[in-house]
Amino acid sequence: MTRRDHGGNLDEARARFGGADWIDLSTGINRRPYPLPPLPPHAWRDLPTRADIEALAAAAARRYGAGGAVLPLAGAQAAIQLYPRLERPGAARVLGPTYNEHAASLRAAGWRVREVATPEALCGADLAVIVNPDNPTGRDLPAATLTGIAAQVGRLVVDESFRDPTPAASVVPAAGGNLLVLRSFGKFYGLAGLRLGFAIGGGDTLDALAAMAGPWAVSGPACAIGRAALDDAAWAREAADALARDALRLDRLAEGAGWRLEGGTALFRLYDTPDAGASQEGLARHAIWSRIFPWSARAIRLGLPGHEHEWSRLATALSSLS
């Protein structure tokens, strides 16, 4: 099996550098997660009911401002694996550089895939994909631009996995017809292991995705925890504010190490460095794992530390690089 390059690969970090007490900043997952609520025994004991899943979908619709239908799935990744099978393969274009699973899943389903560098180059595709805000560059297109592109392609998939800190810019209210929007739960809420995400779009599209996903696409604990978190508006506001402050704090540390901000979101930052591989190894000597990319010798991505001892270790590691 061919393994694609991803963050979160701590096994590789440990194999290369040893050690156990790693701080994983190679992803964009919030390291101050939503506090887990107590779960009723039936969430573990029983299969989730239709009512459980519908209640979760309703909570997501309220949180995201969905005008169309909402389908809970086992992470946004599950939707990425499924949507290429919605129609007969044709010409797909993906706005890049970006998260590599979109192009990989499309190719596996028989699509002819081309990565393009500008939004305008998406027009005319049978299927177009935009990660917005983008991972890893942070490129963020206005909702009006996205709806304009949707009018010029067969289907537009917008992956909003990193949208939660800036919800007002979401294109979810326009989802439906040929516009399919994907949302991740685990990144902003810091519970990636729960494996929960959502597809938002027209009813026929989501019915087809649901049929492909099969019954019980999400677990009972995911239904209970997801519903509680999505309805906790106060926590979401406080988390978004904290992430915005911490992103600026990380930028200051990186600047002190001689790195230049290239982009990012409130959940991760992308920096230009003199040598990304050497920078990653320097951080790894302090048991801090970061993300570098096969398409750049200089770009490095860091998630945000979650606790003061993590900030302190990162500050020490960055100072050793400058």
Domains of the chain from N-terminus onward: 10-33+234-321 (3.90.1150.10), 41-231 (3.40.640.10)
Residue 269 to residues 61, 119, 207, 272, Cα–Cα distance (Å)? 28, 22, 36, 10
Percent of the chain with pLDDT over 70: 99
- pLDDT per residue over 12-48, tens digit each? 999 999 988 999 999 999 999 999 999 999 999 999 9
Q: What is the pLDDT of residue 3?
A: 59
- pLDDT per residue over 53-104, tens digit each? 999 999 999 999 997 799 999 999 999 999 999 999 999 999 999 999 999 9
Half-sphere exposure in the Cβ direction for 36 (13 Å, CA): 12
* Cα distance between residue 94 and residue 157, in whole Å: 9
- The bridge status of strand 155-159 relative to strand 127-131 is parallel
Mean pLDDT of the chain: 96
Sign for the pseudo-dihedral over CA of 69, 75, 81, 84 = positive
Residue type, 166: T
- pLDDT per residue over 132-160, tens digit each? 999 999 999 999 999 999 999 999 999 99
Three-state SS for 263?
strand
Q: Name the helix (H) or strand (E) containing 249.
A: helix 233-256
Q: What is the pLDDT of residue 1?
A: 41
Q: What is the pLDDT of residue 20?
A: 87
Is the pLDDT reported for residue 235 higher than 90?
yes
Residue 116 to residues 12, 44, 70, Cα–Cα distance (Å)? 31, 45, 29
- pTM of the predicted structure, to 2 decimals: 0.96
Range name among 6-15, 39-48, 238-247, 276-285 with the lowest pLDDT average: 6-15
Three-state SS for 257?
coil
CA end-to-end span of the chain: 39
> In the chain, which ranges are E strands?
23-24, 69-73, 91-95, 112-116, 127-131, 155-159, 179-184, 197-201, 260-264, 268-272, 288-289, 291-292, 299-303
β-partners of residue 155 are 127
Q: Is 155 left (phi over 0), alpha (psi -120 to 50) or beta?
A: beta
What b/e string do you get for 92-118 counting C-beta neighbours within 10 Å, with b at 16 or more? bbbbbbbbbbbbbbbeebebebebeee
- pLDDT bracket for residue 7 (50, 70, 90): confident
What residues contact residue 286 under an 8 Å CB cut-off, 6+ apart?
Answer: 313, 314, 316, 317, 320
Q: Omega of the bond prior to 41 within 30 degrees of 0, cis?
A: no
Residue type, 301: R
Is the pLDDT reported for residue 209 higher than 50?
yes
- pLDDT bracket for residue 218 (50, 70, 90): very high
- Do residues 102 and 161 touch, judged by C-beta distance below 8 A? no
Q: For 23-86, give the secondary structure using H, E and C.
A: EECCCCCCCCCCCCCCCCHHHHHCCCCHHHHHHHHHHHHHHHCCCCEEEEECCHHHHHHHHHHC
Packed helices 308-321 and 276-284: angle between N→C axes, nearest 10 degrees: 130
